[in-house]
Amino acid sequence: MKQLLFALAFCLVTPLSHAWNAAGHRLSAIIAWQQLSPAAQERLSQILSNHPDHARWVEKAKSTQEMFIFAEASTWPDDIRNDARFHNEGESKPAIPGLPDNARHKNWHYVDLKTDGTVKDGLLDQKIGDLNKV
């Protein structure tokens, strides 16, 4: 009986999962970086070097290696949630030099599906295609 109670207590007291926190994003980015061709890595590095937050990513990465800068940049969509320079849809803030807009676009970060497979909420599936055209 004690063993059963112990097993039950062990199952109920599991730590919270943080698989997609900043560390999870960085790890996924490093894996993705390693799968890219050298030409794609070079192009991404060039794009990121023109981003207004590039210096901050270099500082956080404590490295000038492009892979680590890319890993830091992978947290940007989460970072801007609390960044006062950005605004929610329907609000307005002065433009940030180097960015096409400074809206948070919260619903671009995910897509939720109904049980029948149709989209319930979020625009990730649409925006990936749109952003590839840029």
Structure tokens at 39: 């030409």
Compute the chain's Rg from CA coordinates. 19
* Burial per residue of 96-118, b for 16 or more beta-carbon CB atoms within 10 angstroms, e otherwise: eeeeeebbbeeebeebeeeeeee
Judgement on whether residues 97 and 125 belong to the same structural domain of the protein = no
Same domain, 50 and 87: yes
Residue 9 lies in a domain: no
Same structural domain, 30 and 93 = yes
Does residue 118 sit in the same domain as residue 99? no
Which region holds residue 117: left if phi is over 0, alpha if psi is between -120 and 50, else beta? left
Structural domain contains residue 73? yes
- Beta bridge partners, 112, equal 121
Cβ atoms of 68 and 26 within 8 Å: the answer is: no
Whether 8 shows a pLDDT value over 50: the answer reads no
On the question of pLDDT at 14 being above 60, the answer is no
The answer to whether residue 5 sits within a structural domain is no
How many structural domains does the chain have? 2
44 in helix, strand or coil? helix
| Residue 2: predicted pLDDT | 57
Q: State phi, psi for 120 to the nearest 5 degrees.
A: -95, -45
Tokens representing residue 98 in the block: 């180097």
How are beta strands 112-113 and 119-121 bridged, if at all?
A: antiparallel
Reported as a single tens digit per residue, the pLDDT across 44-84 is 999 999 999 999 999 999 999 999 999 999 999 889 988 99
Domain that holds residue 119: 106-134
